[in-house]
Amino acid sequence: MSGDEIDIPLIRGDGSLHIMELKRAMSLRKPLVKQHRSAWVPTADVHDAVGQAINYLVGLDDNRQRIQRELGIETRRASAVVLIGHPAVQPDVPEQDINEALRILLMRLDRRET
């Protein structure tokens, strides 16, 4: 796909594509979550990274026939993972709270697919 540069493309055992999007949250010292009312929510940086991965998946799906024909890679069942940092970047927030905020974001994204 023109203009896209996937960080780590992997081929799963079933022949479909799995991409990994890497972000440098620890070196940038950016928080993963922020307080919103009475709950922790992912920051804009997390949403941007997830959006970037989703856009890659859309592009792969839009070009799936050409990619299959030219590279022999199945993109219809492609998946993605965003590696954005470590809870230690926010030592003042319990790791369980960070994990829960990210888990809720993923649950919401999963429900949109169905």
Q: What does the domain layout of the chain look like in residue ranges? A: 8-113
The answer to whether the CB of 74 falls within 8 A of the CB of 13 is no
Q: What is the rounded distance in angstroms from the CA atom of residue 12 to the CA atom of residue 105?
A: 25
Q: What pLDDT does 28 receive?
A: 58
For residue 114 the two structure tokens come to 């169905």
3-state secondary structure of 69: helix
3-state secondary structure of 60: helix
Q: What pLDDT does 114 receive?
A: 46
Q: What pLDDT does 108 receive?
A: 78
Span 101-108, mean pLDDT?
Answer: 87
Cα 71 from chain centre: 24
Span 59-79, mean pLDDT?
Answer: 91
Answer yes or no: is pLDDT of 47 > 50: yes
First-residue to last-residue Cα distance in the chain: 26
Answer yes or no: is pLDDT of 26 > 60: no
pTM for this model (two decimals): 0.82
109 versus 93: which is more confidently predicted? 93
